[in-house]
């Protein structure tokens, strides 16, 4: 490895790292009560990066023989132009590594049988929920990712990251309409996680309940109105509205709507938002990032004031700001960049029922599909999949899905009430940025925004 | 300017084919009654130039093998990026073990032998010039494209960069019923993503691009840079509009998306499980009489390149689908009537029909459904005429979000674009949503443009939909 790093810096780069990765994954699917799909995959490779000033050269290989690694190192090295750099000798092994999740071995046959049971139970529970449930699909996906980072700055660190997820998708049908419902969850957990309250039956009932509810949903309203977001997954609001905009690479380049706003008020004083990679067993948690740095809890917004960015090695060096252990990548095919882990809003003092009571006419949204943001102008959307009207302080009728839209640096200024019921999502989030997907978590307590644009079709 | 090393030495094509056949033979020996192997090899290059400086350079090759086995009516699949003998054996053993735990499904299985085939002749999917172009030239194109955007207007003050990407791939598919096929494809493209700033400090970003299977058909970097700048400047100073019902004109880039939902709605997989608003609608009017939508995996275009005429296969063209069936032309909607579903072998069997050659095959998992070249037949109006007929409405150039429900057709997306007043594009708008139901929207397309241009595997002309709900301030 030292030889490889030496080769990588042979043209004078400032920094080089090797990222070795091995991922084994299993996927099982039940559909129409038949186990129709089962697959396993193995992916092994190494990515080599050379950084010279603001320039990055990158090459990877799925052949780990020394001549292929040296060749990749030479390819990445071409980004730099100068005399070869002397390589510091000796790696600095990471201090006592954290252990935020169980270290599982490779999947064995007995485990596959157990995983099958999970999706079979989900299938049965969803069908038993209501006779109007006509189609059920359930899937179990897990992977074991082993990574090792060796860098010219002495970093030498490794981690083994398990990840599991159970998904349920149902179709409900009555005489008048058809509706879908989805649910799922998991994390960096072993199979016993699904034996507690996060059982296959729990997720199956959730999916079925949402679908049945949607059968009777009326058109969502259109226009600006007060919006109450329920606890948990609605935290995707934070991920889109502020999280991406605070990733250091966009701010270093001045392309984020949040650029240069550190110390300024970007939310109401009731809002404190953190990104925390240290939560045990969470989908977004990691013992170390993909550059070998320890992860941490980073305060992004404190009492409404913008506090900090999420940074990787490159941005922290170029900006002179702290490295927050946020350098992540999808796989050895990819260059790491600043990414979120688990992003959530801290509890406030309000009782959730008081928050609902305070709204004369508005939307109560408790579950969402995905969201998206334009980093540069700050506009973000997230699409409600379960929402209700609030009429005279009471949650009344369910409404069809609708997209909510807002402006990142402004939207959270309208937060007027924050509940005391912080929850994180069930463990289903995958974040995409520049073509790279990484698992993340989101969360929030019940929150009231005095105004937000709701994209329904009704009045 | 440094140049990157030449591409890695590859396994020769015959070796890859041999590997696929070996995997197949091993699977049959291990107890599979049928098997299918896919081998994929690809090279990629990408360069990003920002504010005139090279920011990232990436160059690499990768490969992987995927195996799908059947034991009677049970099936499973495995994949690996490791080609060592031990790994290949694990791939085979893993697939057999997994198949034994899956359920008997009477509809599972490879296609029938007589269904296999390939489009004959050269589909012009691979051009060596993509690999031959020196990296320094590619970087220079990215640099020129960004520079042209930056120089276009003083309000262009920052940049997400200019980039140049190339990719070549080689795919081999073999199965135990005698199909052997392979093809190579090439891609190259560049873009610029400038950022404009208004007097109040508000920023807007947009981009524009050129891409092709051959460097001979790439546009000039300056032309693309200027177009990227124009598209960015158009967004400056955008504001919200009041919530209202109004006609919406979809630019070709966005029209492509809502017409693409027709393909998804017609996928056999969603049809048989009643998860599509097209379920049970075969032969019914699902759109206006002016709507004809086609999926065609066989298209080869006659174009004019930098050095004369050149024939180029479409981005959605391939000689065979993910299961080894010849690709073909399928009219999905003809004059408003739903004529065909799009299917792979499994979904066709579930529906008692024949595959339309739309199987898509990843490395692992059961085949899915994928489009070839997918498009809405153009009309006769110019985009200016379509906009000119609107007294008060929205010209949408960007949508955001995941608010499309393929079960019900409910559609609700974030949008930005330009407000139309008295037939003219008046001012930019943003932070609004557009909503309706696709079932109604397809019937309310009152104008279709003549501006069908393939910039990717799917394309649609400008179109106008009456009576959508726009939510804003």
* Pair type for strands B203-205 and B180-197: antiparallel
- Residue A192: count other Cβ atoms within 10 Å of its Cβ: 9
- Strand blocks (E) in A152-265: 155-173, 178-187, 222-229
Contact between B472 and A224 using a beta-carbon 8 Å cutoff: yes
Contact between A58 and B56 using a beta-carbon 8 Å cutoff: yes
Quick one: tokens of A459?
């009045």
pLDDT digits (tens, 9 = 90+) for B352-391: 999 999 999 999 899 999 999 999 999 999 999 999 999 9
Please, what are the domains in chain A?
2-215 (3.30.2290.10), 222-455 (no CATH)
Q: Which residue of B has its CA nearest to A136?
A: B273
Contact between B90 and A36 using a beta-carbon 8 Å cutoff: no
**HEC string for B61-100:** EEEEEEEEEEECCEEEEEEECCCCHHHHHHHHHHHHHHHH
Alpha carbons A439 and B115: distance in angstroms, whole number: 41
Contact between B8 and A61 using a beta-carbon 8 Å cutoff: yes
Instruction: Check residue A108 and give its pLDDT.
Output: 67
Q: Which residue of B has its CA nearest to A333?
A: B60
Split at pLDDT 50, 70, 90, the class of A83 is confident
Q: Which sign does the torsion angle of CA B213, B217, B221, B226 carry?
A: negative
Contact between A220 and B412 using a beta-carbon 8 Å cutoff: yes
- Provide the shortest C-alpha distance from residue A91 to chain B (in Å): 26
Instruction: Check residue A80 and give its pLDDT.
Output: 80
Contact between A457 and B437 using a beta-carbon 8 Å cutoff: yes
| Contacts across the A-B interface (CB distance below 8 Å) | 273
Beta-carbon contacts of residue A317 (< 8 Å; ≥ 6 apart): none
Query: Which of B63, B78, B98 shows the shortest CA–CA distance to B23?
Result: B78
CB-CB neighbors (< 8 A) of B364 in chain A: 27, 39-41
What share of chain A has pLDDT > 90, as a percent? 87
Contact between B91 and A42 using a beta-carbon 8 Å cutoff: yes
Q: Taking each helix axis from N to C terminus, what angle separates A109-129 and B85-101, rounded to the nearest 10 degrees?
A: 40
Interface test with A, best of B44, B412, B444, B470 (most A CBs within 10 A): B412
Contact between A58 and B472 using a beta-carbon 8 Å cutoff: no
Instruction: Check residue A379 and give its pLDDT.
Output: 95
Alpha carbons B455 and B463: distance in angstroms, whole number: 17
Listing DSSP states for B100-139 in one string gives HHSPP-TT-SPPPGGG-----S------THHHHS-HHHHH
Q: Tokens 């005095």 map to which residue?
A: A450
pLDDT at residue A117 tops 60 = yes
Contact between A44 and B82 using a beta-carbon 8 Å cutoff: yes
First to last CA, chain B: 51
- Provide the shortest C-alpha distance from residue B309 to chain A (in Å): 34
- Provide the shortest C-alpha distance from residue B349 to chain A (in Å): 14
Contact between B414 and A379 using a beta-carbon 8 Å cutoff: yes
Q: Which residue of B has its CA nearest to A399?
A: B410
Domain B13-233 CATH class label: alpha beta
CB-CB neighbors (< 8 A) of B59 in chain A: 58-59, 75
Interface test with A, best of B163, B274, B277, B400 (most A CBs within 10 A): B400
Contact between A43 and B408 using a beta-carbon 8 Å cutoff: no
Q: Which H or E element spans position B19? A: helix B13-29
Segment A295-299 mean pLDDT = 97
CB-CB neighbors (< 8 A) of B61 in chain A: 61
Mean residue pLDDT of chain A comes to 94
Contact between A372 and B414 using a beta-carbon 8 Å cutoff: yes
Quick one: tokens of A324?
């927050």
If 0-12 CB within 10 Å is exposed, 13-18 middle and 19+ buried, where does residue B372 land? buried
- In chain B, CATH 3.30.2290.10 covers 13-233
ipTM confidence score = 0.94
CB-CB neighbors (< 8 A) of A78 in chain B: 2-5, 57
Interface test with A, best of B245, B410, B432 (most A CBs within 10 A): B410
Alpha carbons B399 and B412: distance in angstroms, whole number: 10
Contact between B2 and A457 using a beta-carbon 8 Å cutoff: no
CB-CB neighbors (< 8 A) of A431 in chain B: none
Contact between A173 and B402 using a beta-carbon 8 Å cutoff: no
Split at pLDDT 50, 70, 90, the class of A154 is very high
Contact between A255 and B203 using a beta-carbon 8 Å cutoff: yes
Instruction: Check residue B1 and give its pLDDT.
Output: 33
Q: Which residue of B has its CA nearest to A11?
A: B2
Alpha carbons A177 and A155: distance in angstroms, whole number: 58
HSE, side-chain direction, 13 A CA sphere, residue B116 = 16
Instruction: Check residue B144 and give its pLDDT.
Output: 98
Listing DSSP states for A374-389 in one string gives -TTT-EEEEEEEEEEE
Contact between B103 and A36 using a beta-carbon 8 Å cutoff: yes
CB-CB neighbors (< 8 A) of A180 in chain B: 275, 405, 407-408
Alpha carbons B335 and A16: distance in angstroms, whole number: 59
Say which of A32, A75, A376 has its CB closest to residue B59. Answer: A75
CB-CB neighbors (< 8 A) of B58 in chain A: 57-59, 335
Q: Which residue of B has its CA nearest to A81?
A: B2
Q: Which residue of B has its CA nearest to A33?
A: B103
Split at pLDDT 50, 70, 90, the class of A356 is very high
Contact between B403 and A43 using a beta-carbon 8 Å cutoff: no
Say which of A112, A369, A403 has its CB closest to residue B101. Answer: A112
Contact between B401 and A383 using a beta-carbon 8 Å cutoff: yes
Contact between B57 and A78 using a beta-carbon 8 Å cutoff: yes
Interface test with B, best of A44, A173, A457 (most B CBs within 10 A): A457
Quick one: tokens of B40?
């994929």
* Pair type for strands B373-376 and B458-459: parallel
Contact between A58 and B63 using a beta-carbon 8 Å cutoff: no
Query: Which of B204, B358, B339 shows the shortest CA–CA distance to B269?
Result: B358
- Provide the shortest C-alpha distance from residue B117 to chain A (in Å): 26
CB-CB neighbors (< 8 A) of A111 in chain B: none
- Provide the shortest C-alpha distance from residue A92 to chain B (in Å): 27
* Per-residue pLDDT in tens (0 to 9) along chain B, 473 residues: 333 333 334 456 668 999 999 999 999 999 999 999 999 999 999 999 999 999 999 999 899 999 999 999 999 999 999 999 999 999 999 999 999 999 999 999 999 999 999 999 999 999 999 999 999 999 999 999 999 999 999 999 999 999 999 999 999 999 999 999 999 999 999 999 999 999 999 999 999 999 999 999 999 999 999 999 999 999 999 999 999 999 999 999 999 999 999 999 999 999 999 999 999 999 999 999 999 999 999 999 999 888 889 999 999 999 999 999 999 999 999 999 999 999 999 999 999 999 999 999 999 899 999 999 999 999 999 999 999 999 999 999 999 999 999 999 999 999 999 999 999 999 999 999 999 999 999 999 999 999 999 999 999 999 999 999 999 99
Instruction: Check residue A78 and give its pLDDT.
Output: 85
Instruction: Check residue A110 and give its pLDDT.
Output: 73
Alpha carbons B251 and B254: distance in angstroms, whole number: 5
Query: pTM for the complete prediction?
Result: 0.94
Contact between A379 and B416 using a beta-carbon 8 Å cutoff: yes
Contact between B58 and A335 using a beta-carbon 8 Å cutoff: yes
Say which of A134, A379, A454 has its CB closest to residue B471. Answer: A454
Q: Which residue of A has its CA nearest to B398?
A: A374
pLDDT at residue A298 tops 50 = yes
Contact between B60 and A178 using a beta-carbon 8 Å cutoff: no
Listing DSSP states for A183-206 in one string gives EEEEES--GGGGGTTS-HHHHHHH
Higher local confidence (pLDDT), B431 or A79: B431
Instruction: Check residue B4 and give its pLDDT.
Output: 38
Contact between A42 and B81 using a beta-carbon 8 Å cutoff: yes
Q: Which residue of A has its CA nearest to B367?
A: A37
Interface test with A, best of B431, B437, B441 (most A CBs within 10 A): B431
């Amino acid at each position: 490895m030292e030889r490889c790093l030496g080769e990588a810096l042979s043209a004078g780069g400032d920094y080089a790292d090797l990222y070795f990765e091995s991922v084994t994954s299993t996927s099982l699917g039940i559909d129409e009560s038949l186990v129709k799909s089962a697959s396993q995959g193995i992916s092994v490779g190494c990515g080599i990066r050379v950084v010279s000033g603001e320039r990055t050269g990158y090459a990877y290989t799925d052949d780990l023989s020394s001549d292929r690694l040296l060749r990749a190192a030479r390819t990445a090295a071409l980004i730099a132009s100068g005399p070869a750099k002397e390589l510091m000798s000796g790696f600095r092994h990471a201090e006592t590594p954290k252990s935020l999740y169980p270290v599982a071995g490779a999947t064995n046959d007995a485990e596959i049988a157990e995983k099958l049971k999970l999706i079979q139970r989900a299938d049965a529970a969803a069908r038993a929920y209501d006779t109007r449930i006509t189609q059920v699909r359930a899937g179990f996906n897990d992977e074991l990712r082993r990574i090792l980072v060796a860098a010219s700055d002495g970093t030498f660190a490794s981690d083994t990251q398990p990840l599991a997820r159970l998904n349920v998708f149902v179709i409900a049908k009555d005489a008048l309409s058809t509706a879908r419902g989805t649910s799922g969850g998991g994390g960096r957990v072993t199979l016993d996680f699904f034996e507690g309250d996060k059982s296959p039956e729990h997720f199956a009932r959730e999916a079925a309940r949402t679908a049945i509810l949607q059968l009777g949903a009326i058109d969502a309203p259109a226009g600006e109105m007060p919006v109450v977001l329920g606890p948990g997954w609605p935290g995707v609001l934070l991920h889109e509205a502020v999280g991406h905009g605070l990733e250091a690479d966009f701010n270093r380049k001045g392309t984020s709507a949040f650029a240069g706003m550190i110390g300024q008020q970007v939310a109401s004083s009731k809002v404190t938002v953190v990104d925390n990679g240290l939560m045990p067993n969470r989908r977004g948690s990691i013992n170390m990032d993909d550059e070998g740095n320890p992860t941490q809890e980073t305060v992004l917004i404190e009492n409404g004031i913008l506090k900090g960015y999420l940074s990787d090695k490159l941005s922290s060096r170029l900006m002179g700001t702290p490295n927050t252990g946020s350098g992540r990548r999808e796989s050895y095919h990819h260059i790491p960049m600043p990414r979120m882990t688990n992003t959530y809003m801290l509890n406030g003092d309000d009782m959730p029922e008081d928050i609902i009571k305070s709204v004369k006419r508005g939307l109560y949204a408790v579950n969402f599909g995905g969201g998206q943001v334009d980093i540069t102008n700050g506009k973000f959307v997230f699409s409600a999949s379960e929402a209700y009207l609030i009429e005279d302080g009471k949650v009344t009728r369910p409404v069809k899905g609708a997209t909510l839209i807002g402006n990142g640096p402004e939207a959270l200024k309208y937060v007027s009430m924050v509940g005391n019921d912080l929850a994180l999502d069930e463990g289903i989030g995958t974040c995409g940025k520049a073509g790279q997907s990484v698992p993340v978590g989101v969360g929030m307590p019940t929150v009231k925004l005095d105004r937000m644009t709701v994209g329904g079709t009704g009045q | 300017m440094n140049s990157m090393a030449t591409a890695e030495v590859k396994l020769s094509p015959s070796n890859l084919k041999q590997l696929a056949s070996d995997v197949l033979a091993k699977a049959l020996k291990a107890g599979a009654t049928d098997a299918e192997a896919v081998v994929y090899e690809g090279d990629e290059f990408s360069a990003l130039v920002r504010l005139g400086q090279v920011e990232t350079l990436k160059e690499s090759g990768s490969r992987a093998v995927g195996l799908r086995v059947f034991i009677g009516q049970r099936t499973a699949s495995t994949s690996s990026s490791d080609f060592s003998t031990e790994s290949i054996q694990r791939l085979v053993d893993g697939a057999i073990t997994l198949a034994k735990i899956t359920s008997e499904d009477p509809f599972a299985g490879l296609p029938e032998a007589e269904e296999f085939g390939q489009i004959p002749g050269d589909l012009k999917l691979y051009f060596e010039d993509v690999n031959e172009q020196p990296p320094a030239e590619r970087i220079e194109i990215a640099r020129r494209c960004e520079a042209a955007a930056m120089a276009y207007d003083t309000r262009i003050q920052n940049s997400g960069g200019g980039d140049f990407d190339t990719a070549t791939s080689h795919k081999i598919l073999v199965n135990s019923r005698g199909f052997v096929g392979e093809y190579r494809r090439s891609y190259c493209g560049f873009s610029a993503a400038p950022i404009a700033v208004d007097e109040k400090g508000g920023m807007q970003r947009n981009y524009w691009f050129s891409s092709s299977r051959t460097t001979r058909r790439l546009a000039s970097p300056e032309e693309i840079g200027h177009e990227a700048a124009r598209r960015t400047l158009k967004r400056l100073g955008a504001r919200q509009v009041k919530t209202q019902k109004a006609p919406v004109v979809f630019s070709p880039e966005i029209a492509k998306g809502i017409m693409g939902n027709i393909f998804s709605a017609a996928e056999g997989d969603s049809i048989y499980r009643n998860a599509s608003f097209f379920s049970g609608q075969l032969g019914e009017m699902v759109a206006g009489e002016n709507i004809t939508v086609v999926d065609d995996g066989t298209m080869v275009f006659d174009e004019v390149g930098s050095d004369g005429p050149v024939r180029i296969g479409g981005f959605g063209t391939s000689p065979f689908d993910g299961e080894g069936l010849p690709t073909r032309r399928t009219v999905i909607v003809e004059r408003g009537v739903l004529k065909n579903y799009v299917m792979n072998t499994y979904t066709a069997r579930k529906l008692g029909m024949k595959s339309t050659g739309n199987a898509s095959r990843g490395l692992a998992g059961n085949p899915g459904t994928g489009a070839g070249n997918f498009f809405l037949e153009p009309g006769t109006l110019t985009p200016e005429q379509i906009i000119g007929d609107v007294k008060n409405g929205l010209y949408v150039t960007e949508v955001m979000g995941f608010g499309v429900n393929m079960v019900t057709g409910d559609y609700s997306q974030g949008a930005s674009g330009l407000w139309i007043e008295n037939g003219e594009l008046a001012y930019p708008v943003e932070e609004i949503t557009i909503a309706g139901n696709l079932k109604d929207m397809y019937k309310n397309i009152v104008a279709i443009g003549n501006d069908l241009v393939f910039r990717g595997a799917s394309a649609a002309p400008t179109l106008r939909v009456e009576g959508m709900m726009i939510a804003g301030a």
